[in-house]
Structure 1
Amino acid sequence: MSAPGLAYGPLGDHCAHLCVDMQRLFAEPSEWATPWITRVLPRIVSLAERYPSQTIFTRFLPARSPGQGAGTWKRYYERWASMTIDRIGEEMIELLPPLAACCPPAVVVDKHIYSPWPEGHLHTLLSSRRIDTLVITGGETDVCVLATVLGAIDIGYRVVLVTDALCSSSDATHDALMTVYHQRFAQQVETVEMETVLSSWT
Protein backbone atom coordinates (compact mmCIF):
# COMPACT_ATOMS: atom_id res chain seq x y z
CA MET A 1 0.00 0.00 0.00
CA SER A 2 1.34 3.43 -0.94
CA ALA A 3 2.20 5.90 1.77
CA PRO A 4 0.10 9.10 1.74
CA GLY A 5 1.52 11.41 -0.89
CA LEU A 6 4.07 8.89 -2.15
CA ALA A 7 2.82 7.38 -5.39
CA TYR A 8 5.25 4.48 -5.33
CA GLY A 9 5.11 3.42 -1.70
CA PRO A 10 6.99 4.09 1.50
CA LEU A 11 10.73 4.70 1.74
CA GLY A 12 13.05 1.99 2.99
CA ASP A 13 16.56 0.62 3.38
CA HIS A 14 17.75 1.55 -0.12
CA CYS A 15 16.95 5.24 0.29
CA ALA A 16 19.35 8.14 0.83
CA HIS A 17 18.80 11.78 1.76
CA LEU A 18 20.66 13.90 -0.79
CA CYS A 19 20.99 17.49 0.44
CA VAL A 20 22.14 19.94 -2.22
CA ASP A 21 24.55 22.80 -1.49
CA MET A 22 23.37 24.07 1.92
CA GLN A 23 26.55 26.10 2.40
CA ARG A 24 27.64 29.29 4.08
CA LEU A 25 28.23 31.13 0.79
CA PHE A 26 24.51 30.89 0.05
CA ALA A 27 23.36 31.81 3.58
CA GLU A 28 25.60 34.72 4.49
CA PRO A 29 25.50 38.17 2.84
CA SER A 30 26.97 37.85 -0.65
CA GLU A 31 25.97 38.16 -4.28
CA TRP A 32 24.78 34.54 -4.12
CA ALA A 33 22.72 34.87 -0.95
CA THR A 34 19.51 32.85 -0.90
CA PRO A 35 17.30 34.79 1.52
CA TRP A 36 15.01 31.97 2.60
CA ILE A 37 17.65 29.30 3.06
CA THR A 38 17.18 29.75 6.82
CA ARG A 39 13.45 29.07 6.46
CA VAL A 40 14.01 25.56 5.11
CA LEU A 41 17.09 24.76 7.19
CA PRO A 42 15.22 23.43 10.28
CA ARG A 43 13.31 20.91 8.16
CA ILE A 44 16.49 19.69 6.48
CA VAL A 45 18.23 19.43 9.85
CA SER A 46 15.35 17.31 11.18
CA LEU A 47 15.80 14.80 8.36
CA ALA A 48 19.60 14.77 8.51
CA GLU A 49 19.58 14.27 12.28
CA ARG A 50 17.10 11.42 12.02
CA TYR A 51 19.03 9.62 9.25
CA PRO A 52 22.64 10.87 9.45
CA SER A 53 24.21 7.67 8.13
CA GLN A 54 21.90 7.83 5.11
CA THR A 55 22.52 11.52 4.41
CA ILE A 56 24.85 12.80 1.71
CA PHE A 57 25.62 16.50 1.31
CA THR A 58 26.85 18.03 -1.93
CA ARG A 59 28.96 21.18 -1.89
CA PHE A 60 29.41 23.51 -4.84
CA LEU A 61 33.05 24.60 -5.07
CA PRO A 62 33.59 27.84 -6.99
CA ALA A 63 36.75 28.42 -8.99
CA ARG A 64 39.71 29.52 -6.92
CA SER A 65 40.31 32.73 -8.86
CA PRO A 66 38.54 34.83 -11.52
CA GLY A 67 38.62 33.49 -15.05
CA GLN A 68 39.37 29.89 -14.15
CA GLY A 69 37.24 27.09 -15.58
CA ALA A 70 36.63 25.39 -18.91
CA GLY A 71 34.57 26.95 -21.69
CA THR A 72 31.73 29.15 -20.49
CA TRP A 73 32.72 28.55 -16.85
CA LYS A 74 35.71 30.82 -17.50
CA ARG A 75 33.35 33.63 -18.50
CA TYR A 76 31.11 32.76 -15.55
CA TYR A 77 33.93 33.31 -13.08
CA GLU A 78 34.92 36.54 -14.75
CA ARG A 79 31.37 37.73 -14.11
CA TRP A 80 31.30 36.30 -10.58
CA ALA A 81 34.87 37.14 -9.59
CA SER A 82 33.62 38.23 -6.18
CA MET A 83 32.48 34.65 -5.43
CA THR A 84 35.74 32.84 -6.17
CA ILE A 85 37.40 31.07 -3.26
CA ASP A 86 40.34 33.49 -3.14
CA ARG A 87 37.85 36.33 -2.60
CA ILE A 88 35.34 34.72 -0.22
CA GLY A 89 37.69 32.46 1.76
CA GLU A 90 37.76 28.69 2.18
CA GLU A 91 35.41 28.80 5.17
CA MET A 92 32.51 29.98 3.03
CA ILE A 93 32.27 26.71 1.12
CA GLU A 94 31.53 24.82 4.35
CA LEU A 95 28.11 23.38 5.15
CA LEU A 96 25.87 25.37 7.45
CA PRO A 97 26.88 24.46 11.03
CA PRO A 98 23.80 22.41 12.03
CA LEU A 99 24.33 20.22 8.97
CA ALA A 100 28.11 20.02 9.34
CA ALA A 101 27.44 18.64 12.83
CA CYS A 102 25.92 15.54 11.19
CA CYS A 103 29.27 14.66 9.54
CA PRO A 104 30.23 11.95 10.21
CA PRO A 105 28.35 9.69 9.78
CA ALA A 106 26.84 11.84 7.02
CA VAL A 107 29.25 12.33 4.11
CA VAL A 108 30.11 15.18 1.76
CA VAL A 109 30.55 14.99 -2.01
CA ASP A 110 32.16 18.04 -3.64
CA LYS A 111 31.44 19.22 -7.17
CA HIS A 112 32.66 22.04 -9.37
CA ILE A 113 29.55 22.45 -11.56
CA TYR A 114 25.80 22.54 -10.97
CA SER A 115 25.29 18.81 -11.41
CA PRO A 116 26.82 16.26 -9.01
CA TRP A 117 26.78 13.49 -11.61
CA PRO A 118 29.46 14.09 -14.32
CA GLU A 119 32.40 13.87 -11.91
CA GLY A 120 31.24 10.37 -10.93
CA HIS A 121 31.87 10.35 -7.18
CA LEU A 122 28.23 10.53 -6.11
CA HIS A 123 26.98 7.73 -8.34
CA THR A 124 29.87 5.51 -7.26
CA LEU A 125 29.04 6.12 -3.60
CA LEU A 126 25.32 5.45 -4.09
CA SER A 127 25.99 2.29 -6.09
CA SER A 128 28.30 0.96 -3.38
CA ARG A 129 25.47 1.42 -0.88
CA ARG A 130 22.85 -0.13 -3.20
CA ILE A 131 20.79 3.06 -3.12
CA ASP A 132 17.90 3.27 -5.58
CA THR A 133 15.86 6.12 -4.07
CA LEU A 134 16.88 9.72 -3.39
CA VAL A 135 15.07 12.12 -1.08
CA ILE A 136 16.27 15.51 -2.31
CA THR A 137 16.43 18.76 -0.33
CA GLY A 138 18.47 21.96 -0.55
CA GLY A 139 19.07 24.73 -3.05
CA GLU A 140 18.65 26.21 -5.43
CA THR A 141 15.41 24.73 -6.77
CA ASP A 142 16.01 26.12 -10.25
CA VAL A 143 19.79 25.58 -10.57
CA CYS A 144 21.70 22.89 -8.67
CA VAL A 145 18.61 21.04 -7.44
CA LEU A 146 17.31 21.00 -11.02
CA ALA A 147 20.62 19.60 -12.31
CA THR A 148 20.63 17.00 -9.52
CA VAL A 149 17.06 15.90 -10.21
CA LEU A 150 17.46 15.63 -13.99
CA GLY A 151 20.66 13.61 -13.64
CA ALA A 152 19.04 11.28 -11.13
CA ILE A 153 16.11 10.74 -13.49
CA ASP A 154 18.46 9.92 -16.37
CA ILE A 155 20.31 7.33 -14.27
CA GLY A 156 17.04 5.80 -13.10
CA TYR A 157 16.82 6.69 -9.42
CA ARG A 158 13.47 7.07 -7.77
CA VAL A 159 13.34 10.78 -6.90
CA VAL A 160 11.38 12.18 -3.96
CA LEU A 161 11.55 15.96 -3.92
CA VAL A 162 10.75 17.57 -0.56
CA THR A 163 8.82 20.67 -1.55
CA ASP A 164 9.06 22.53 1.76
CA ALA A 165 12.79 21.82 2.10
CA LEU A 166 13.91 23.57 -1.10
CA CYS A 167 15.02 27.16 -1.55
CA SER A 168 15.94 29.63 -4.27
CA SER A 169 16.99 33.24 -4.59
CA SER A 170 14.14 33.72 -7.08
CA ASP A 171 10.54 33.09 -6.04
CA ALA A 172 9.35 33.25 -9.65
CA THR A 173 11.67 30.58 -11.02
CA HIS A 174 11.25 28.43 -7.88
CA ASP A 175 7.50 28.41 -8.50
CA ALA A 176 8.00 27.76 -12.21
CA LEU A 177 10.24 24.76 -11.53
CA MET A 178 7.80 23.32 -9.01
CA THR A 179 5.18 23.45 -11.75
CA VAL A 180 7.56 21.68 -14.15
CA TYR A 181 8.33 18.96 -11.59
CA HIS A 182 4.60 18.40 -11.00
CA GLN A 183 3.42 18.56 -14.59
CA ARG A 184 6.26 17.26 -16.75
CA PHE A 185 8.06 14.75 -14.51
CA ALA A 186 5.18 13.26 -12.51
CA GLN A 187 6.13 9.71 -13.54
CA GLN A 188 9.66 10.09 -12.24
CA VAL A 189 9.50 12.72 -9.48
CA GLU A 190 7.31 12.46 -6.40
CA THR A 191 6.77 15.84 -4.74
CA VAL A 192 5.85 15.70 -1.07
CA GLU A 193 6.30 17.74 2.10
CA MET A 194 8.77 16.85 4.84
CA GLU A 195 6.04 15.54 7.15
CA THR A 196 5.25 12.84 4.60
CA VAL A 197 8.90 11.84 4.29
CA LEU A 198 9.40 11.62 8.05
CA SER A 199 6.27 9.50 8.48
CA SER A 200 6.95 7.24 5.50
CA TRP A 201 10.66 6.39 5.80
CA THR A 202 10.91 3.17 7.79
Structure 2
Amino acid sequence: MDLSDDYAGAGFGQPLDWGSSPAVLVIDMVRAYFEPGAELYLGSRSCLDSAARVVGAARAAGVPVILTRVAYAADGVDGGLFYRKVGALRHFATGAPGSLGEIMPEVAPADGDLVVTKQYASAFFGTSLAATLAARRIDTLVLCGVSTSGCVRATAVDAISSGYVPIVVADAVGDRDPRPHEASLFDLAAKYAEVWSEEKVLKRLNQR
Protein backbone atom coordinates (compact mmCIF):
# COMPACT_ATOMS: atom_id res chain seq x y z
CA MET A 1 0.00 0.00 0.00
CA ASP A 2 1.19 3.50 -0.79
CA LEU A 3 2.43 5.27 2.35
CA SER A 4 0.17 8.29 1.84
CA ASP A 5 -2.85 6.02 1.36
CA ASP A 6 -1.91 4.05 4.47
CA TYR A 7 -1.76 7.20 6.60
CA ALA A 8 -4.95 8.64 5.11
CA GLY A 9 -6.74 5.38 5.77
CA ALA A 10 -5.77 5.63 9.44
CA GLY A 11 -7.27 9.11 9.67
CA PHE A 12 -4.08 11.16 9.56
CA GLY A 13 -3.75 14.42 7.64
CA GLN A 14 -7.15 15.97 8.30
CA PRO A 15 -7.18 19.58 7.02
CA LEU A 16 -6.84 22.58 9.31
CA ASP A 17 -8.36 25.89 8.26
CA TRP A 18 -6.21 29.02 8.00
CA GLY A 19 -7.51 31.38 10.65
CA SER A 20 -8.42 35.05 10.41
CA SER A 21 -5.33 36.48 12.12
CA PRO A 22 -2.01 35.04 10.87
CA ALA A 23 1.59 35.89 11.63
CA VAL A 24 4.73 34.80 9.81
CA LEU A 25 7.37 33.18 12.03
CA VAL A 26 10.91 33.01 10.60
CA ILE A 27 12.94 30.48 12.55
CA ASP A 28 16.71 30.81 12.98
CA MET A 29 17.62 32.04 9.51
CA VAL A 30 21.06 33.10 10.65
CA ARG A 31 24.51 33.07 9.09
CA ALA A 32 25.50 29.77 10.69
CA TYR A 33 23.24 27.90 8.28
CA PHE A 34 24.02 29.84 5.11
CA GLU A 35 27.73 30.66 5.38
CA PRO A 36 29.76 28.28 3.17
CA GLY A 37 32.27 26.41 5.29
CA ALA A 38 30.38 26.92 8.55
CA GLU A 39 29.83 23.79 10.61
CA LEU A 40 26.05 24.08 10.32
CA TYR A 41 26.01 25.11 6.64
CA LEU A 42 22.97 23.69 4.83
CA GLY A 43 24.52 23.77 1.36
CA SER A 44 21.66 25.75 -0.20
CA ARG A 45 20.03 29.17 0.01
CA SER A 46 16.77 28.30 -1.73
CA CYS A 47 14.74 28.19 1.47
CA LEU A 48 16.15 31.58 2.48
CA ASP A 49 15.13 33.14 -0.82
CA SER A 50 11.64 31.65 -0.48
CA ALA A 51 11.32 32.92 3.09
CA ALA A 52 12.32 36.40 1.94
CA ARG A 53 9.45 36.41 -0.55
CA VAL A 54 6.99 35.23 2.11
CA VAL A 55 8.20 37.92 4.52
CA GLY A 56 7.86 40.58 1.83
CA ALA A 57 4.31 39.52 1.05
CA ALA A 58 3.43 39.46 4.76
CA ARG A 59 4.70 42.99 5.30
CA ALA A 60 2.84 44.23 2.23
CA ALA A 61 -0.34 42.67 3.60
CA GLY A 62 0.12 44.05 7.11
CA VAL A 63 0.68 40.58 8.58
CA PRO A 64 2.98 40.56 11.62
CA VAL A 65 6.48 39.12 11.15
CA ILE A 66 8.30 37.46 14.04
CA LEU A 67 11.86 36.18 13.81
CA THR A 68 13.87 33.94 16.10
CA ARG A 69 17.56 33.70 16.79
CA VAL A 70 19.64 31.54 19.12
CA ALA A 71 22.00 32.92 21.78
CA TYR A 72 23.70 31.44 24.84
CA ALA A 73 25.78 32.61 27.74
CA ALA A 74 29.52 32.30 27.21
CA ASP A 75 29.64 28.90 28.93
CA GLY A 76 26.35 27.67 27.46
CA VAL A 77 24.85 27.11 30.89
CA ASP A 78 21.44 28.37 29.72
CA GLY A 79 21.42 25.73 26.97
CA GLY A 80 21.43 22.82 29.39
CA LEU A 81 21.61 19.31 27.93
CA PHE A 82 20.65 20.52 24.44
CA TYR A 83 23.83 22.61 24.30
CA ARG A 84 25.85 19.56 25.31
CA LYS A 85 24.09 17.26 22.84
CA VAL A 86 24.61 19.49 19.78
CA GLY A 87 28.22 20.64 19.84
CA ALA A 88 27.81 23.13 17.01
CA LEU A 89 25.60 25.28 19.24
CA ARG A 90 28.80 26.68 20.75
CA HIS A 91 28.88 29.05 17.76
CA PHE A 92 25.92 30.88 19.32
CA ALA A 93 27.61 31.43 22.69
CA THR A 94 28.44 34.96 23.81
CA GLY A 95 31.95 35.80 22.70
CA ALA A 96 32.13 33.11 20.01
CA PRO A 97 34.22 34.27 17.04
CA GLY A 98 32.49 35.50 13.92
CA SER A 99 28.90 36.57 13.41
CA LEU A 100 27.18 33.25 12.80
CA GLY A 101 24.25 34.19 15.03
CA GLU A 102 23.25 37.20 12.93
CA ILE A 103 19.94 37.05 11.07
CA MET A 104 20.49 36.96 7.33
CA PRO A 105 19.95 40.29 5.54
CA GLU A 106 17.34 38.78 3.20
CA VAL A 107 14.96 38.40 6.14
CA ALA A 108 16.46 40.97 8.51
CA PRO A 109 14.01 42.53 10.97
CA ALA A 110 12.20 45.66 9.84
CA ASP A 111 10.54 48.28 12.00
CA GLY A 112 7.68 46.67 13.87
CA ASP A 113 9.02 43.12 13.61
CA LEU A 114 9.62 41.15 16.80
CA VAL A 115 12.82 39.17 17.38
CA VAL A 116 12.60 36.31 19.90
CA THR A 117 15.82 34.92 21.35
CA LYS A 118 15.68 31.26 22.24
CA GLN A 119 17.95 28.55 23.62
CA TYR A 120 16.08 25.40 22.63
CA ALA A 121 14.57 23.96 19.46
CA SER A 122 11.01 25.23 19.82
CA ALA A 123 10.37 28.95 19.49
CA PHE A 124 7.81 28.51 22.29
CA PHE A 125 9.98 26.84 24.92
CA GLY A 126 11.24 29.27 27.53
CA THR A 127 10.29 32.37 25.50
CA SER A 128 7.56 35.02 25.50
CA LEU A 129 6.22 33.92 22.10
CA ALA A 130 2.95 32.38 23.31
CA ALA A 131 2.05 35.42 25.39
CA THR A 132 2.86 37.74 22.49
CA LEU A 133 0.67 35.77 20.09
CA ALA A 134 -2.20 35.69 22.57
CA ALA A 135 -1.97 39.43 23.17
CA ARG A 136 -2.14 40.09 19.43
CA ARG A 137 -4.98 37.59 18.92
CA ILE A 138 -2.93 35.58 16.43
CA ASP A 139 -4.50 32.24 15.49
CA THR A 140 -2.31 31.01 12.61
CA LEU A 141 1.48 30.74 12.31
CA VAL A 142 3.10 30.63 8.89
CA LEU A 143 6.43 28.90 9.50
CA CYS A 144 9.64 29.49 7.54
CA GLY A 145 13.17 28.65 8.64
CA VAL A 146 15.63 25.93 9.58
CA SER A 147 15.98 23.18 10.20
CA THR A 148 12.90 21.30 9.03
CA SER A 149 13.62 18.30 11.24
CA GLY A 150 14.74 20.38 14.21
CA CYS A 151 13.53 23.82 15.19
CA VAL A 152 10.77 24.05 12.56
CA ARG A 153 9.30 20.72 13.55
CA ALA A 154 9.57 21.44 17.29
CA THR A 155 7.91 24.81 16.84
CA ALA A 156 5.08 23.37 14.74
CA VAL A 157 4.37 20.70 17.35
CA ASP A 158 4.29 23.29 20.14
CA ALA A 159 2.14 25.62 18.00
CA ILE A 160 -0.62 23.08 17.47
CA SER A 161 -0.33 22.01 21.11
CA SER A 162 -0.90 25.64 22.09
CA GLY A 163 -3.94 26.11 19.85
CA TYR A 164 -2.33 27.81 16.83
CA VAL A 165 -2.73 26.54 13.27
CA PRO A 166 0.79 25.87 11.91
CA ILE A 167 1.26 26.43 8.17
CA VAL A 168 4.70 25.15 7.16
CA VAL A 169 5.92 26.70 3.90
CA ALA A 170 7.56 23.73 2.17
CA ASP A 171 9.82 25.87 -0.05
CA ALA A 172 10.84 28.16 2.80
CA VAL A 173 12.16 25.54 5.21
CA GLY A 174 15.38 23.59 4.83
CA ASP A 175 17.65 20.95 6.30
CA ARG A 176 21.21 19.74 5.78
CA ASP A 177 20.01 16.61 3.97
CA PRO A 178 16.87 15.95 1.87
CA ARG A 179 16.03 12.76 3.77
CA PRO A 180 15.17 14.28 7.18
CA HIS A 181 13.67 17.26 5.37
CA GLU A 182 11.20 15.20 3.34
CA ALA A 183 10.44 12.80 6.19
CA SER A 184 9.68 15.72 8.51
CA LEU A 185 7.40 17.43 5.98
CA PHE A 186 5.49 14.18 5.51
CA ASP A 187 5.08 13.63 9.24
CA LEU A 188 4.18 17.26 9.93
CA ALA A 189 1.46 17.15 7.28
CA ALA A 190 0.13 13.91 8.73
CA LYS A 191 -0.01 14.95 12.38
CA TYR A 192 0.90 18.48 13.32
CA ALA A 193 0.58 21.09 10.56
CA GLU A 194 -0.55 22.09 7.14
CA VAL A 195 2.29 21.99 4.60
CA TRP A 196 1.74 24.56 1.84
CA SER A 197 3.81 25.57 -1.16
CA GLU A 198 5.26 29.07 -1.31
CA GLU A 199 2.97 29.83 -4.24
CA LYS A 200 -0.12 28.91 -2.25
CA VAL A 201 1.01 30.91 0.78
CA LEU A 202 1.82 34.00 -1.31
CA LYS A 203 -1.59 33.82 -2.96
CA ARG A 204 -3.27 33.67 0.44
CA LEU A 205 -1.26 36.59 1.80
CA ASN A 206 -1.90 38.67 -1.30
CA GLN A 207 -5.64 38.21 -0.83
CA ARG A 208 -5.54 40.07 2.47
Report the TM range for the smaller structure's normalisation. 0.7 to 0.9
Task: In structure 2, list runs of 5 or more residues that go unmatched.
Answer: 1-14
CA deviations 1:130-186 (Å, max 9, x no partner) are 000011111100010011011001101111111111101122111111121233x1x
The 3 A distance-change label for structure 1 pair 11 and 125 is same
Partner of 2:158: 151
Q: Distance in 1 between matches of 2:27 and 2:100?
A: 15
Please point out which of 39, 48, 54 is paired with 1:31.
39
Indicate the RMSD between aligned Cα atoms, in angstroms. Answer: 2.3
How far does residue 119 in structure 1 lie from its aligned partner after superposition?
A: 1.7
Deviation per residue, 1:74-113 (Å, 9 max, x gap):
5336x44752342334x3211101211x422222111011
1:103-182 maps to which residues of 2 (within 5 A)?
Answer: 103-182=110-189
The TM-score with structure 2 as length reference comes to 0.80
1:59 aligned to 2:69? yes
- Which of 51, 73, 76 is the equivalent residue of 2:82? 73
Identity %: 27
Is the alpha carbon distance of 1:175 and 1:97 closer, same or farther for their aligned partners in structure 2, counting shifts above 3 Å? same
Aligned residues: 188
- Distance in 2 (CA, whole Å) between partners of 1:140 and 1:176 is 12
Q: Which amino acid in the other structure matches residue 40 of structure 1?
A: C
Question: What is the DSSP-based 3-state SS (H/G/I as helix, E as strand, rest coil) of the residue aligned with 2:96?
Answer: helix
Q: Is the CA contact (8 Å cut-off) linking 2:72 and 2:79 kept in structure 1? A: no
| SS at structure 2 position matched to 1:142 | helix
Mapped partners of 2:104, 2:24: distance in 1: 16
For 1:199, the aligned partner's letter is K
The alpha-carbon distance between structure 1 residues 165 and 68, as it changes in their structure 2 partners (threshold 3 A), is same
Could you tell me which residue of structure 1 aligns to residue 11 of structure 2?
Answer: none
Q: Determine the structure 1 residue equivalent to 2:193.
A: 189
| Counterpart residue number, 1:40 | 47
CA distance in 1, matches of 2:118, 2:89: 18
- Preserved CA contact (<8 Å) 1:45 1:99: yes
Name the counterpart of 2:3: none
Residues 14-64 of structure 1: CA deviation (Å, up to 9, x unaligned): 10001111011211131111112x111222111212223511111122442
Q: 1:98 to 1:70 in 2, by over 3 A?
A: closer
Q: How does 1:77-88 map to 2 (within 5 A)?
A: 79-80=87-88, 83=91, 84-88=93-97
Conserved in 2, the CA contact under 8 Å of 1:60 and 1:114? no
